[in-house]
Amino acid sequence: MICLDNFFTGTKRNIEHLIGHPRFELLRHDVTFPLYVEVDEIYNLACPASPIHYQHDPVQTTKTSVHGAINMLGLAKRLRCRILQASTSEVYGDPAVHPQTEDYWGNVNPIGPRSCYDEGKRCAETLFFDYLRQHRLEIKVARIFNTYGPRMHPNDGRVVSNFVVQALQGEPITIYGDGNQTRSFCYVDDLVDGLMRLMGTAADFTGPVNLGNPGEFTIRRLAEMVIDMTGSKSKLVAKPLPADDPRQRQPNIALAKRALGWEPRIPLEDGLKLTTAYFDGLLRGTSVEATT
């Protein structure tokens, strides 16, 4: 396996247990530049994924999605190998249809502060389907909904890591808006299982296919669960809702169930326990291996 990363948001610490394994190779490389390697399959996951990181350098974010897709699709075309794109529920924008099925075209602002990510990922999907039509590539497109778990960046502003870190440090838990907006949360091991099943589907199955956990929780409920789980004395504080923040987010995973035989197995409570244990170890300076 070749793991490629420019470490913009990732860290070597996350893969240090794999370094030295005879079948693991690490390559520091930026996907916005062409790459020449020999592989049988490509999982294209490279992209800053949290608003703090993708808005830090929005032009680079769009480049990572668009140039990155072109470079990886070019590599797949040369090798005639399968390629999977980590797309996102953000392609649905602030959805007018709920829950979202794959045939919904989305409600996306093309010129807002989130557009570098949303439109970058939409353009990447377009490129994948054009490579399929024009070059008969074997493509797989996963639309990933909120996924969380150990090894997330502790300060990237994503809601689960934010809440867990704030609760463990006894700091106020910041809720944007009234906290009644909903999200669904998928544990990382479930998602990885879904991505590998998608890669293994028949050549004519391309997706896009939603991968996520349909259990829907308000942000306020999530905060309360984290406080209960950590025994924290943190209080909830409200801050203004950022621009273009979706009110509701819930995947319809009927297609994933049908085509991949997949559905999430790990309930939010169990996943939060593993995530909390990880961040607890990180904040105390002792590392925790989390497995389900």
Give me Rg for the CA atoms of the chain: 19
Query: Which of 43, 54, 92, 117 is the catalytic position?
Result: 117
Query: Does residue 223 interact with ligand NAD by CB under 6 A?
Result: no
Query: Does residue 190 interact with ligand NAD by CB under 6 A?
Result: no
Query: Does residue 10 interact with ligand NAD by CB under 6 A?
Result: yes
Query: Does residue 88 interact with ligand NAD by CB under 6 A?
Result: yes
Of residues 232 and 249, the one with the C-beta less far from ligand NAD:
249
Query: Does residue 47 interact with ligand NAD by CB under 6 A?
Result: yes
Q: Which residue is nearest to ligand NAD (CB)?
A: 10
- Which residue from 227, 216, 213 is spatially nearest to 271, judged by alpha carbons? 213
Minimum Å gap between C-beta 106 and ligand NAD is 14
Residues 49-78 that bind ligand NAD (CB under 6 A): 49, 64, 68
CA–CA distance, 192 with 242 (Å, rounded to integer): 30
- Say if CB 4 and CB 35 are below 8 A apart: yes
17 burial type by CB count under 10 A (0-12 exposed, 13-18 middle, 19+ buried): exposed
Query: Does residue 115 interact with ligand NAD by CB under 6 A?
Result: no
State the binding string over 124-163 for ligand NAD (x if CB under 6 A, else -). --------------------x-xx----------------
Minimum Å gap between C-beta 145 and ligand NAD is 6
Minimum Å gap between C-beta 246 and ligand NAD is 13
Say whether the peptide bond before residue 99 is cis (omega within 30 degrees of 0).
yes
The position carrying tokens 């209960």 is 228
- Say if CB 184 and CB 214 are below 8 A apart: yes
CA–CA distance, 165 with 144 (Å, rounded to integer): 23
Minimum Å gap between C-beta 31 and ligand NAD is 4
- Which residue from 138, 8, 19 is spatially nearest to 77, judged by alpha carbons? 138
Q: Which token pair is 289?
A: 């291996």
Q: Which token pair is 57?
A: 């350098």
Q: Which residues are known catalytic residues?
A: 117
Binding residues for ligand NAD, rule: CB under 6 A, are: 5-10, 30-32, 45-49, 64, 68, 86, 88, 144, 146-147
